Amino acid sequence: MLMTRRIVFVFLAFVLVLGGCQLDTGVKIIKMGHAQVVSHPVHQAMVFLGKRLEEKSGGKIKVKVYPNQQLGTERELLELLQIGSVGMTKVSAASLEAFSPEISVLGLPYLFRDDAHITQVLEGEIGKELLLSTEKYWLRGLCFYDAGKRSFYSKTRPIATPADLAGLKVRVQESKMAINMVRGMGGSPTPVSYGELYTALQQGIVDAAENNPPSFYNSRHYEVCKYYSIDEHTAIPDVVLVSTKVWSELSPEEQVWLQEAADESAAYQTKLWKEAVEEALLEVQKAGVEISYPSKEPFLEKVAAVYAQVFQEQKQLEALVQRIQQTNK
Ligand code: GCU
């Protein structure tokens, strides 16, 4: 009995909460939770991040990745990071809106001119500012992952123009910006967490949703929604974050390893992403989804009103949008 207690005591003495733990072998294990399935390229990138960190640290730091909302929805995961009970996560930038009004800017429709513009903004000064804009809330952004472009998919009809959204309950992420965007385009926005969306679509709680091709495919929403209209209204990236409670317990050298591992995983994810988009479009088509490429003009005509609404609610975003628009290298 005494022996068992001693063992427990010795064990506890070595355990250090690190959104995971430090074992008595001196190995730190960082828990990383996210909402996607394991076949999704972002999951593979997170596993890669863990592998690189383990290599760089000579096996002293490991990342254990928990997919599928096992540890909570994106919103819950962020809260768990804030208190340090989960160490790292990957969420959509839309989920960070409550912690950083600046980041919500990325949810504005047709914000970027093209792919090169997205890279210039996210890899430049603005991207760095956005990654650190949640630090005062104990969330440190490490890098962005490519989450492509989001387009509408529906159970009932193709969305050829915004008028086709009329009367449709469109699932949106838990974000005010997404609500404004869908309302401005003419649909009825309904926030639902990603993990609950399949059932919500199946049961008719919502009639439509919007996402990038790999997420539409990997979430199997295509089994329920047979119309995918590639209007590419937003390009909201994903963000990899570490709890500042975990970050501050790492030595400066360990912090460098973690940052490098995150950057390398972002480069790896970009490569996986392109293939994943092609594969997703091919597979959903094989499964009977009608893919259409509507003209963007009628969607673009709605943009000015959406921006006006957003600036009325958040005046400070106007200057940031201007900076984004002026970014060209
Ligand atoms: C994207 C994003 C996820 C997010 C999802 C959503 O797929 O990568 O992080 O959960 O959109 O629509 O909620």
Q: What is the pLDDT of residue 23?
A: 76
Q: What is the pLDDT of residue 12?
A: 35
Residue 15 has pLDDT above 70, yes or no: no
Distance between CA atoms of 296 and 281, rounded to whole angstroms?
19
State how beta strands 238-243 and 169-172 pair. Answer: unpaired
Q: Which of 43, 92, 152 to mutate to test the pocket of ligand 1 (most atoms within 8 A of CB)?
A: 92
Torsion sign, CA atoms 197, 202, 203, 205 = positive
170-215 confidence digits (pLDDT tens): 999 999 999 999 999 999 999 999 999 999 999 999 999 999 999 9
**Cβ–ligand 1 contact at 238 (below 6 Å):** yes
Using CB atoms within 10 A of its CB, is residue 104 exposed (0-12), middle (13-18) or buried (19+)?
buried
The model's pTM is 0.93
Q: What is the pLDDT of residue 13?
A: 35
CA 92 / ligand 1 centre spacing (Å) = 5
Which segment of 19-23, 139-143, 245-249 scores lowest on mean pLDDT? 19-23
Residue 255 has pLDDT above 70, yes or no: yes
265-314 confidence digits (pLDDT tens): 999 999 999 999 999 999 999 999 999 999 999 999 999 999 999 999 99
**Cβ–ligand 1 contact at 173 (below 6 Å):** yes
Longest dimension (CA), the chain: 76
CA 173 / ligand 1 centre spacing (Å) = 8
Q: Which two tokens stand for residue 196?
A: 């609950």
Q: Which two tokens stand for residue 117?
A: 């513009």
Nearest of 300, 304, 150, 297 to residue 228 by alpha carbon: 150
Q: What is the pLDDT of residue 18?
A: 58
Distance between CA atoms of 189 and 152, rounded to whole angstroms?
12
- Ligand 1 atom nearest to CA at 215: 7
Starting at the earlier edge strand, list the strands of the sheet with 150-154.
188-191, 169-172, 208-211, 150-154, 227-234, 290-292
Residue 110 has pLDDT above 70, yes or no: yes
